[in-house]
Amino acid sequence: MSELDPTAPAARTGGRTAPLDDEAELVARAADGDRVAFSRLMEHYQSACYGLAWRLLGNADQAADAVQDAFIHAYTAIDRYRGGIFRSWLLRITANASYDILRRAKRRPSQPLPEPDEGEAELPDVATSNPAAEAARSEMYRHLELALRQLPEDQRTAIVLCDVYGMDYNEVAAMTDAALGTVKSRIHRGRLRLRELLADHRELFGG
Amino acid sequence: MDEQHHPDDERLAAFAAGDGEAGLAMHVDTCDRCAALVSDLSSLRTAMAAMPDLVPSRPLQLLPPVAPAPAPRGGLPALVHRLFAPAMAAGAALVLVGGVGMAAAPVPAGMTSAPADAAGQERASAAAEEAPGVAAFESYSADAARSMGTAFASDSLTDGAEATPLVREDSSLDPSEPLAVGGQPAMPWAAITITGAILLIVSLVLRWTVVPGAPYPPTYPGA
């Protein structure tokens, strides 16, 4: 599957980042200016933020820059955080930072839009009791990442925000400055396109 | 169902996402092609919702690169902090003035050749009685001048006159007082310089002991 390698420049984690046990307390302390608490939160969620940025931008360096921008913005805005799921709040900031980078790239035609990174794929280093199932899942994610990279940018952005990171249509519309109907259309067409792209690997998805 | 009667795929996608028309349900239930499409889209959404996070390609800085604002200080540290710069400036100015003064000070004008007349000799003798140390120096100077002979006698310093000992312009002064310069008391250039240096040193010591500076390079918790 060497043709799939360019889609995975970063190692996958074992899954989604779960909330911290003492997250509410850490958030409260961070809002009061506790830098240790803030850095713990960022350390915990950096993989989630980076994953979102990378899937939106398709470039490791730009993704890291977007996450750094998001952390700075979160640091200045955390005192205005008004509850809710902290991970979602941080991911929205990261998505905005990533989308800002995309917009800047569009405004400067001399700078090409980010291309998918090249490099060796790195298998997730996760101990599992079922290596065969884990390998199949890893293979499925690789195909999925590659298929996402092949979507038009507007569809990819909407799909990633909505389907991968669970934002609702209104959030995606606000973030991408698009009408609600446009966002829905992009998502539906994007899913259909993904299905076409993954038609040869339907067995991996249980289809 | 005939293929040309299949609903548009985008409508089916909306249906699969749960925001399509309810009227499509009956068709999807009876159409293998459309049911497969809806099933595939559902599986796809499930798979995407479970996509794992990614490890950053490089270490990320978890905190903005700004040093925390120094906490407000009070009491002696605040006073020292406030006075540090003016004290340093004053000390540097004193050292500069004193140094320039010492470097530019002329040979004391009061150190003149004593008159060779008898009155002058008497004043010299009187001064010798009051200040034996000065008299001994003057005697040595005179002996040295005489030993140099005529060659030294024509030296510009003595302007052809016989070398004579240096004496105080006004021998009535207390020998413990500073030497007169042009008739004025000598400026205490050395004292000014030393005062400035002390001010500089004390300022620095107080600044670094009472008001310790921020660590360099700055460290951030958790970074």
Cβ contact, residue pair A40, B53, below 8 Å: no
Percentage of chain A surpassing pLDDT 70?
Answer: 82
Cβ of residue B172 closer than 8 Å to a chain A Cβ: no
CATH number at residue A189: 1.10.10.10
Q: Is residue A101 part of a domain?
A: yes
Q: How far apart are CA A53 and CA A94, in angstroms?
A: 7
Q: Give the number of beta-carbon pairs within 8 Å between A and B.
A: 141
**Rounded to the nearest 5°, which phi and psi values hold at B153?**
-65, -30
A87 and A172 both lie in a single domain: no
Residue B37: list chain A partners with CB under 8 A.
195
Going by C-alpha positions, the residue among A41, A56, A6 that lies closest to residue A165 is A56
Q: What is the pLDDT of residue A201?
A: 85
Complex ipTM over 0.85: no
The structural domain count of chain A equals 2
Q: What is the mean pLDDT of residues B192-202?
A: 90
* Residue that finishes a domain, picked among A120, A155, A179: A120
A153 and A181 both lie in a single domain: yes
Cβ contact, residue pair B19, A184, below 8 Å: yes
Q: Which residue has the higher pLDDT, B185 or A94?
A: A94
Q: According to the per-residue pLDDT averaged within each range, which of A130-134, A189-193, B58-62, B179-183 is highest?
A: A189-193
Q: What is the nearest CA distance from B208 to chain A, expressed in angstroms?
A: 27
Alpha helices in chain A, H assignment, sequence order: 23-31, 35-57, 60-77, 86-107, 131-149, 153-159, 169-176, 180-197
Q: Is residue A126 part of a domain?
A: no
Local confidence band at A72 (pLDDT 50, 70, 90 cut-offs): very high
Q: What is the pLDDT of residue B28?
A: 85
Q: What is the nearest CA distance from A62 to chain B, expressed in angstroms?
A: 10
Local confidence band at B190 (pLDDT 50, 70, 90 cut-offs): confident
Cβ contact, residue pair A48, B53, below 8 Å: yes
The pLDDT tens digits for B136-162 are 555 555 554 454 444 444 444 444 444
A106 and A137 both lie in a single domain: no
Q: DSSP letters of B111-144?
A: -EEPP-SHHHHHHHHHHHHH-HHHHHHHHHHHHH
The pLDDT tens digits for A87-126 are 889 999 999 999 899 888 877 755 554 555 544 334 344 4
Q: Is residue A180 part of a domain?
A: yes
A160 and A206 both lie in a single domain: yes
Domain segments of chain B: what residues? 3-49, 75-105+188-210, 112-183
Q: What is the pLDDT of residue B125?
A: 58
A139 and A195 both lie in a single domain: yes
The DSSP element (H or E) to which B183 belongs, if any, is: none
Q: What is the pLDDT of residue A160?
A: 93
Q: What is the pLDDT of residue A53?
A: 94
Q: What is the nearest CA distance from A82 to chain B, expressed in angstroms?
A: 21
Domain extent, residue A182, equals: 131-207
Q: Is residue A198 part of a domain?
A: yes
Q: Which residue has the higher pLDDT, B4 or A127?
A: B4
Local confidence band at B209 (pLDDT 50, 70, 90 cut-offs): confident
Q: What is the pLDDT of residue A14?
A: 63
Q: How far apart are CA B134 and CA B179, in angstroms?
A: 12
Q: Is residue A2 part of a domain?
A: no
Cβ contact, residue pair A46, B58, below 8 Å: no
Q: Which residue has the higher pLDDT, B68 or A187?
A: A187
Q: What is the pLDDT of residue B180?
A: 47
CB A44 within 8 A of CB A16: no
**Rounded to the nearest 5°, which phi and psi values hold at B190?**
-65, -40
Cβ of residue B103 closer than 8 Å to a chain A Cβ: no
A103 and A151 both lie in a single domain: no
CATH number at residue A86: 1.10.1740.10
Q: What is the nearest CA distance from B4 to chain A, expressed in angstroms?
A: 18
A79 and A144 both lie in a single domain: no
Q: Please name the residue of chain A whose CA is at the shortest distance from the CA of residue B38.
A: A192
CB B153 within 8 A of CB B162: yes
Q: Is residue A203 part of a domain?
A: yes
Q: Is residue A138 part of a domain?
A: yes
Q: In chain A, positions 74-133, which contact chain B (CB-CB < 8 Å)?
A: 75-76, 124
* Residue that finishes a domain, picked among A68, A99, A120: A120
Query: Of A155, A162, A188, which to mutate for an interface test with B (greatest number of B Cβ within 10 Å)?
Result: A188
Tokens, residue A119: 């490099």
Q: What is the pLDDT of residue A123?
A: 37
Going by C-alpha positions, the residue among B158, B23, B19 that lies closest to residue B7 is B23
Residue A206: list chain B partners with CB under 8 A.
43
Q: Is residue A22 part of a domain?
A: yes
Q: What is the pLDDT of residue B123?
A: 58
Q: What is the pLDDT of residue B113?
A: 47
A87 and A107 both lie in a single domain: yes
